[in-house]
Amino acid sequence: MAAVTTVITGATSGIGKETALALAKKGHGLYLLVRDVVRGDELARQLTEQTGNKEIYSIKCDLSDLHSVYTAAEKLKSKLFAVNVLINNAGGMFPQRELSKDGFEKTFAVNHLAHFALFHHLLPLLQKGQARVISLSSEAHRVGKIDLDGINSEKKYSLMRVYGMAKLFNIFFTKSVAEKYQDKGITAFAVHPGVVNTSFGTGTGGFTGFMLSLARPFMITAEQGAKTSVYLATQTGLHTKSGSYFKKCKVAGTSSAANDVTAREKLWQLSEELLKQHPPV
């Protein structure tokens, strides 16, 4: 049995796939939470062939459906004694306003609320594993404006506004986990992977799509983008940096909004209330 058990979302492409490959090479037991199980099973097979690591599994988990998140967490709890690393890698950027199965604006649902739910339902395993919780944020958090009354963007939808707010919420989540669970042995880190040339954002139109197309020739590879996540999942002696935002494997500064403790606590409370309204069936 692997010495380290890692759970990762969004591993079938881009940064997540490269992160999974690197950790498979290091002997981590991997549980890939995937929306498409066929792709997930194929990736698990490929990673085993490439690395010789036979402890790689895929579990269905659609982050736009809280019931799917709860079901995935229950499967993990039935299979595992502990989780040592949880990587909230998956994310989403949606050109037009869409709603999740539970009726939430999809950017908020996929980037924040689903991972918040996953963390809470895996908490017994995370505590036993003295886990590291790694969440992919972005420098886009700097354009995020805190609007806890408008998380569903019902009045006005702007792709970069909702995405920036979601990435800001990833940092809020990281800081809150670090504070609330430090006595449980859980540490938390947020990551800016870099501006990575993946399929992320494909189909985005307008000014954002135009800027993405201009930037692509200068973007780093998915393998390079995975380096900080892999570093945080494997490096020793990081407990004193819990709650930090990392870029290029080093602690980096955040926007002033990311240090708003009152808003951060309100987000935590709101997220708990939303999950209570959508409990496991």
SS3 annotation, the chain: CCCCEEEEECCCCHHHHHHHHHHHHCCCEEEEEECCHHHHHHHHHHHHHHHCCCCEEEEECCCCCHHHHHHHHHHHHHHCCCCCEEEECCCCCCCCCCECCCCCEHHHHHHHHHHHHHHHHCHHHHHHCCCEEEEECCHHHHHCCCCCCCCCCCCCCCHHHHHHHHHHHHHHHHHHHHHHCHHHCCEEEEEECCCECCCCCCCCCHHHHHHHHHHHHHCECHHHHCHHHHHHHHCCCCHHHCCCEEECCEEECCCHHHHCHHHHHHHHHHHHHHHHHCCCC
**What is the pTM (predicted TM-score) of this model?**
0.92
Domains defined for the chain, CATH in brackets: 5-277 (3.40.50.720)
pLDDT band at residue 204 using 50, 70 and 90 as cut-offs: very low
**pLDDT mean over 1-26:** 95
Provide the mean pLDDT of the chain: 92
163, 181, 231, 245: which one is catalytic? Answer: 163
Q: What does the pLDDT read at residue 212? A: 45
81-129: per-residue pLDDT in tens?
999 999 999 999 999 999 999 999 999 999 999 999 999 999 999 999 9
Clarify whether 231 is annotated catalytic.
no
